[in-house]
Structure 1
Amino acid sequence: MKNFFITYYKDLFLGKKLFAGIGLCATLFLFSFFLPWLGDIPFVAFSILMALIAIDMILLYRQNKGFFLRRDVPERLSNGDENEINIYIESFYPFATKVGVIDEIPWQFQKRDIWFASNLKARERKTINYVLRPTKRGEYVFGLVRLYVSSPLGLITRRFNFGEEKTVPVYPSFLQLRRYELMAVSNRLSEIGIKKIRRIGHSLEFDQVKNYVQGDDYRTVNWKATARKGELMVNSFTDEKAQHVYCIIDKSRVMKMPFEGLSLLDYAINASLVLSNVALLKEDKAGLITIAEKTGSIVPADRKPAQLGRIMEVLYKEKTRYLETNMENLYTSIRSVMKQRSLLVFFTNFESMSALTRQLPFLKRIAKFHLLLIVFFEDTELKSLTEDEVKDVEGIYIKTIANKFAYEKKLIVKELARHGILSILTPPEKLTVNVINRYLSIKAQQKL
């Protein structure tokens, strides 16, 4: 008996019904001092309670393996997305049980209420599903899964511990990547805001001579081939391939600002991953550069099957820095790495004209050799302030300042355009869609 309690006391918990029974017995003993007619009723009630406790312990502890439980976690989690976690439970008890599950999820989520209550019939199986949305890349450690079981009596609860600590990496949003890729393959990109861009003229890359079908442009008729074959033939053109597309990510302090749990750096990383995938699907070469006070990682442009995996592995490790961007280092890296004209999508953030003025000389020099697209962020909180109704003098002051900053962002767009630099001013949540739209527009208009 002693060994039994030493072995199981840590996993034995008293239920609410037991405390209610103890309270009832204590009340009967108390009143027996003033009401002699109660006689042996308190002793009988206490004996019944002890017998029920013994029966409950026999029911719960007569099987060493009363349950099987397995937690199914993906090999990696997608940052900023809802990742599904499954807990499979199978009961081996020959009677119905009431269970509660506590999953020790990683501390980064700061959740202490992961409790799932359920009822299982004899030898029943059940799967519990829930989702986790990480907002930071890195390693997340899952602990044990603790299962609390009580019999129909409900006087005591037995705990089972399953699993072991498991470390799961959180990568940039590959779920978003797959969603865009599947919609691109099925030509349903318009459902998520991707616009159909009207192609201007023809690309310069000849594909083949084919038979004319209704709808083909008469200007593409190949008269020599038509004369030889005796039927109308036209030239077919394809998009220019193997163009270099580089995502340049600023990871300085300006990208530390959070929106809906994610930092601007994480929004930029997720968008870069999707853009790189779209570029590879368009048979362009995708590359990556990260920059802060010094040049970070460089992935030369390529379109090999493993290129997207290389980019994802680099992005997984990137973190924001706390110094300003060294634009001179960026310009030097671009000149040394890129030997041909490329599309450079620079993810950064400008809060004022003075911030742009410091970087503008280097941006102009980069734009001489490459097609430069600056992507920076609209402050959605400031925008909401400009739309709020003013109720007092302080509100007028706040709204005036908010309008000033919002107007300055628009001035930055005009200033960049004045120097021939393309730009996108976008809310963080619409970043990916807006960047892909601009890339497709650039391809269609043959600006590169």
Structure 2
Amino acid sequence: MKRFYKNFFLRQRLFFILAGLVIAFVISFFFTRWLDYIIFAFYCLIGLTIIDTLSLYLNKSGVIALRAVPDKLSNSDDNPVQIKVTNQYTFPVHIRVIDELPFQFQKRDFEIKGFLKNGNSTDYTYTVRPVDRGEYYYGGLNIHVHTILGLVSRRYVFNQEVMIPCYPSFLQMRKYELMAFSNRLIDFGMKKIRRIGHTMEFEQIKEYVNGDDVRNINWKASAKRSQLMVNQYQDEKAQPVYSVIDKGRVMKMPFEGLKLVDYALNATLVISNIALKKGDKAGMFSFSNKVDNQVMAQKKASQMNLILETLYNLDTDFKESDFSRLYIDIKRSITQRSYYYFIPTLKP
């Protein structure tokens, strides 16, 4: 009985009709011949309310709902959430879905309305955009159901409580990974540029064409072929690539709802992933008054997961960034030549 009262709701339509009947009773004092009709309408309303209530409560599991959420959320991106609702009543119903979103979204008026025929199922999809890393707790899933009469409604509560971690933007990481390995970079506003110069890693000997560096002419091969031949070099691989993240007090400043440090973390994730896919070693560390969160550049299979977990737990502090301490620590801990990407303040 207690559960019945907790899940039983009177709808606005019933109150509007009752208000109309009250006004009609007041008018009946002046037009007494209408009183019998008004009393009859009042008893009809009571009967319809009872019928509406019984039709909703005779079936113990009239509606079934299930929420499908990602295993982890991508920070600053639109993450899809799907809700599947099945109508097991023998008649069509109107539904109102109220999902208990994590408090970080600060959305207290979330609801989805729909209409379901008997025996049918439907999927409702909405997106959430987190702007903070951490743990997001979803509460219960509430489904309010009413019939075509719409006098009363019944609430179904489904225990869909779940915790979802929010990581730096791995969706952007995949997006730029596809761009880096795509041959259609011009579609993204990028143009392939011919780089003048060469590295020390030999690839092949080819025929000379206009624009090749004359310093790379292979005279012995040219004498054998009776035409100019040049040495072609390829980019050196397995180079250590480090992303240096400033996590001083300046990086606490928000920009379009997202802290500057989160833009830096997203960029670090993209750079590290592309470096590993291109055959280089990826690493990272952060600094403010000292250097910490250090991940040495390696090329192992679990390196990307290690960087992702380190970025997940990284946050700013209110200390001043010390660049002299940064130089000393880098010189002490990293002895070989490496590439560094300094990410102090980034904007989208």
TM-score higher than 0.5 here? yes
| Correspondences of 1:251-270 after superposition (within 5 Å) | 251-270=247-266
1:177 partner letter: M
2:185 partner letter: L
1:72 partner letter: A
Cα deviation for residue 164 of structure 1 reads 2.7
Over aligned residues, Cα RMSD in angstroms?
2.5
Distance 2:209 2:227 in 1: 14
1:255 partner letter: M
Cα deviation for residue 205 of structure 1 reads 0.4
Q: Secondary structure at the match of 2:300?
A: coil
1:62 to 52, 58, 62: 58
- Give the corresponding residue for 1:276: 272
Distance 1:309 1:247 in 2: 15
2:45 to 46, 49, 55: 49
- Give the corresponding residue for 2:342: 346
- Give the corresponding residue for 1:382: none
Question: CA 1:195/1:218 → structure 2, altered by over 3 Å: closer, same or farther?
Answer: closer
Please tell me whether the aligned partners of residues 300 and 337 of structure 1 are also in contact (alpha carbons under 8 angstroms). no
Would you tell me which structure has more helix in proportion to its own residues?
1
Range 26-35 or range 96-105, more displaced: 26-35
1:134 partner letter: P
Please tell me whether the aligned partners of residues 203 and 234 of structure 2 are also in contact (alpha carbons under 8 angstroms). yes
Q: Provide structure 1 residue ranges, at least 5 long, that are not aligned to the other structure.
A: 349-375, 378-427, 430-448
TM-score normalised by structure 2 residue count: 0.91
Cα deviation for residue 67 of structure 1 reads 1.3
Q: Provide structure 2 residue ranges, at least 5 long, that are not aligned to the other structure.
A: none
- Give the corresponding residue for 1:286: 282
Identity of aligned residues (%): 44
1:20 to 16, 20, 32: 16
Q: Secondary structure at the match of 1:320?
A: coil
Please tell me whether the aligned partners of residues 244 and 285 of structure 1 are also in contact (alpha carbons under 8 angstroms). yes
| Correspondences of 1:34-433 after superposition (within 5 Å) | 34-208=30-204, 235-348=231-344, 376=345, 428-429=347-348
Q: Deviations over 1:364-400 (max 9, x none)?
A: xxxxxxxxxxxx45xxxxxxxxxxxxxxxxxxxxxxx
- Give the corresponding residue for 1:30: 26
TM-score normalised by structure 1 residue count: 0.72
Question: Which structure is richer in relative contact order (CA contacts within 8 A, separation 6 or more)?
Answer: 2
Number of residue pairs the alignment of both structures matches: 347
Distance 1:269 1:298 in 2: 14
Please tell me whether the aligned partners of residues 70 and 163 of structure 1 are also in contact (alpha carbons under 8 angstroms). no
Q: Deviations over 1:297-335 (max 9, x none)?
A: 100011222211111110111111001013343223212
Distance 2:204 2:212 in 1: 15
Cα deviation for residue 194 of structure 1 reads 4.0
Cα deviation for residue 134 of structure 1 reads 0.8
Distance 2:208 2:224 in 1: 18
Please tell me whether the aligned partners of residues 86 and 122 of structure 2 are also in contact (alpha carbons under 8 angstroms). yes
Distance 1:139 1:32 in 2: 61
Distance 2:274 2:190 in 1: 12
1:183 partner letter: M
Cα deviation for residue 60 of structure 1 reads 0.8
Would you tell me which structure has more strand in proportion to its own residues?
2
Q: Secondary structure at the match of 1:40?
A: helix
Distance 1:221 1:201 in 2: 13
